[in-house]
Structure 1
Amino acid sequence: MSDINVLVLMGGPDAEREISLKSGAMIAAALREAGGFIVHEQIIDKPTSTELRALPGDVIFPVLHGPFGEGGPLQEIMEADGRPYVGSRPRAARIAMDKISSKLFARTAGIRTPPARILIAGEPCDLEMPVIVKPVDDGSSVGVRRCFDAAQFAAARAELEVKHQRLMAEKLIVGREITVGILERDLLPMIEVVTSQEFYDFSAKYERSDTQYILDPALAPEIQAEIAYASRTIYERIGCRDIARVDFMVDEVGAWFLEINSMPGMTDHSLVPKAATHAGITFPKMCARLVEKSLSRMKGNHRMARNAANAVQAHAADASSASTESQVALEGASQGASEGNTATMTRDQSGAQDQTND
């Protein structure tokens, strides 16, 4: 069997570009170490379909983080390209990137998630302090602020509203931070993140050396079961594929779902590679497995592009089914909640979301 040509995409226009560059370089090196692959590394910004088609490769491994590269637009371009690629399809990528949308999916599955509100400039927020203010669709703790009183909340909004189009406020849960990687449909070992910082911010994730990562942390059996159920359920209901990471906070009430990442970081500080290694899956083996899985989905000639009309139709269907309403409130009840007692959700505008996988 001849070597497989893999196009590793990295960079992108989003705030996490530098993390993407590190992740892409590590994946390229891992595939070369695994053997059987000819690796083409390509730094991109926002390529067109025509530009992507001109790049070499039998399969695409996109390692971008942020709204463009991880949140649907790049996935739509790769769908039109027709080659197999690693990661979630457009609709699932959009839902996972949008923290409010993913919380809605969690809520409909009966999974506990902190109350949250979309923040609209000039309008008040009825959540009680303390809260977290953060962009709806960014990762790596970019633009995250903890607010313990009205003055801090006003300052955070004033700072972030000029930098981000969509902001949210979420009830602050103080407790243990637990994350779960998913490889295909297999749950990787849980990791507890312990940081000397106020919280697990960008610096703690990628710059500091004193952040502790506790594999297989000591958790009550019922909490482990709750986290495992929530992780797999959210992954499957949103329609993610290949790889993801699901983040939780755990307090005396139980586990609280925060977000799901459909293309988690792949640097030497990143959590999914650490969990996979602990499970006996080396980084080269994991990367090779993801490429082989994506190839196995494409029957026949995987170089053949899809019919242009079908691509347009799929794009329109995706845009319709995954629309996220701008006015969403997640309210409700957490004090004294037992397992399965979750926030109550209301939507100012109606429109059910199709949960069928892409």
Structure 2
Amino acid sequence: MRTDRLRVAVVGGGANSEHEVSLASAAAVRTALGTSYDVVPITLTRCGGWQDREGRPLGVLGAVALLSSCDVVFPAVHGPGGEDGAIAALCALAGLPCVGSPASAGATAMDKHLTKLVAAAAGIDVAAGVLLSPATAGDYRWSGPVVVKPVAAGSSQGVSLVAAAADLEAALKEAFVHDDRVLVEEVVHGREIDVAVLGGRDGERLVAPPLEIVGPGIFDYATKYDGSADLRVPAAVTPDEEASLAAAAVRMYDALGCRGLARIDFFLTAEGPVLLEVNTMPGLTEHSQAPRMFAAAGIAYPDLLGRMVADAVR
């Protein structure tokens, strides 16, 4: 039965390696929105199927029908098949308001190679590197420390820091497990700083205090989710550094055509920010990076999610 409260479909899961992370985000979003909205849970299975709140299969037509019974869709799905714009495209075809970036922005941001091209065109520094496929990987010659990463995987899966030539083959093999295109980039020496941007009405861009990830090596999958990460917000940066990070983040947000919430990750070097990646649907538990940053700005977690829903409805 319909109530006078806004009906929000919260989609979690996904047919990718970030399935469990997405389930956690969706559960947190449902709980936070549940006090103010009529929340309808929908799950994408690991095999790509759709399920309702009781776990019953819906099929694509059933899923669209259930989504269409809602006022707005909140896709808390990270990685391919969600964050890459797939759900946003489905909603656009069905004429449904959808929280977050449109399909074009999600697809471009999910592709780290395309993201670097957009960043360079927008005047934002990126790491030097090459794009490899299984057919061209054998021609690559290691000449110093590099970072190997899949083009379209999330949560740092398949990412390796290669300090010796003997380790390159294994790193490439692991990266190709996650994608058939791989970036090999020069190592950037700097502090890893994340910036969260929230779009709003009339072109408003709200930038939260930056967050620093402190620690040696790569911020890998295990460190992201086992609670051991040293995340400091606000990051200890100078006013000029914070201004340059915020400007680069907003420039990237607008160059990609993002909407709603996005997290833009940088290395802060002596020469300024160097883009690492863009997440158009970042982790969304209350303790994830972007919500932590907005909490530091005085925007509580339920309020952050409410603003995202309101922006989509508008």
Q: Provide the TM-score with structure 1 as the length reference.
A: 0.78
Structure having greater relative contact order (Cα 8 Å, sep ≥ 6)? 1
Quick check: 2:133–2:180 contact (8 Å CA) kept in 1? no
Alpha-carbon distance in 2 for matches of 1:230, 1:28: 32
- Give the aligned partner of residue 176 of structure 2: 161
In structure 2, relative to structure 1, the CA distance for the partners of 1:2 and 1:206 (3 Å cut) is same
The reply on whether 1:57 has 2:70 as its aligned counterpart is yes
Quick check: 2:150–2:178 contact (8 Å CA) kept in 1? no
Alpha-carbon distance in 1 for matches of 2:307, 2:210: 20
- Give the aligned partner of residue 103 of structure 1: 116
Letter in 1 for 2:272: G
- Give the aligned partner of residue 31 of structure 1: 33
- Give the aligned partner of residue 55 of structure 2: none
The reply on whether 1:19 has 2:21 as its aligned counterpart is yes
Q: By how many angstroms is 1:213 displaced?
A: 1.7
The reply on whether 1:273 has 2:291 as its aligned counterpart is yes
- Give the aligned partner of residue 40 of structure 1: 40
**What does the per-residue CA deviation read over 1:52-73, in whole Å, with 9 as the maximum and x for residues that have no partner?**
3221421100000112111122
- Residue identity (%): 36
Quick check: 1:128–1:171 contact (8 Å CA) kept in 2? no
Quick check: 1:133–1:169 contact (8 Å CA) kept in 2? yes
Alpha-carbon distance in 2 for matches of 1:73, 1:85: 11
Q: By how many angstroms is 1:127 displaced?
A: 6.4
- Give the aligned partner of residue 78 of structure 1: 91
- Give the aligned partner of residue 117 of structure 1: 130
Quick check: 1:49–1:80 contact (8 Å CA) kept in 2? no
Alpha-carbon distance in 2 for matches of 1:126, 1:105: 27
Alpha-carbon distance in 1 for matches of 2:80, 2:181: 12
Alpha-carbon distance in 2 for matches of 1:7, 1:192: 33
Q: By how many angstroms is 1:51 displaced?
A: 3.2
- Give the aligned partner of residue 219 of structure 2: 200
Alpha-carbon distance in 2 for matches of 1:255, 1:71: 25
Alpha-carbon distance in 2 for matches of 1:51, 1:117: 43
> 3-state SS of the aligned residue for 1:165?
coil
- Give the aligned partner of residue 208 of structure 2: 188
- Give the aligned partner of residue 142 of structure 1: 157
The reply on whether 1:173 has 2:188 as its aligned counterpart is yes
Q: After TM superposition, what 4+ stretches of structure 1 lie above 6 angstroms from structure 2?
A: none
Quick check: 2:115–2:277 contact (8 Å CA) kept in 1? yes
Alpha-carbon distance in 2 for matches of 1:269, 1:205: 11
Written as runs of structure 1 = structure 2, the 5 A alignment for 1:200-219 is 200-209=219-228, 211-219=229-237
> Where does the alignment leave 5 or more consecutive residues of structure 2 unmatched?
51-58, 200-204
Quick check: 1:31–1:39 contact (8 Å CA) kept in 2? yes
Letter in 1 for 2:210: M
Higher mean C-alpha displacement, 16-25 vs 223-232: 223-232
Quick check: 2:147–2:185 contact (8 Å CA) kept in 1? yes
**What does the per-residue CA deviation read over 1:289-323, in whole Å, with 9 as the maximum and x for residues that have no partner?**
11111111xxxxxxxxxxxxxxxxxxxxxxxxxxx
Letter in 1 for 2:211: I
Letter in 2 for 1:207: D
Q: Provide the TM-score with structure 2 as the length reference.
A: 0.88
Letter in 1 for 2:171: A
Alpha-carbon distance in 2 for matches of 1:51, 1:220: 52
In the alignment, which of 263, 266, 272 is matched to residue 254 of structure 1?
272
In structure 2, relative to structure 1, the CA distance for the partners of 1:127 and 1:224 (3 Å cut) is farther
> 3-state SS of the aligned residue for 1:67?
coil
**What does the per-residue CA deviation read over 1:260-310, in whole Å, with 9 as the maximum and x for residues that have no partner?**
1000001244101101111111111111111111111xxxxxxxxxxxxxx
> 3-state SS of the aligned residue for 2:264?
strand
> Where does the alignment leave 5 or more consecutive residues of structure 1 unmatched?
297-358
Query: RMSD across aligned C-alpha pairs, in angstroms?
Result: 1.7
- Give the aligned partner of residue 166 of structure 2: 151
Quick check: 1:49–1:81 contact (8 Å CA) kept in 2? no
Q: By how many angstroms is 1:122 displaced?
A: 4.5
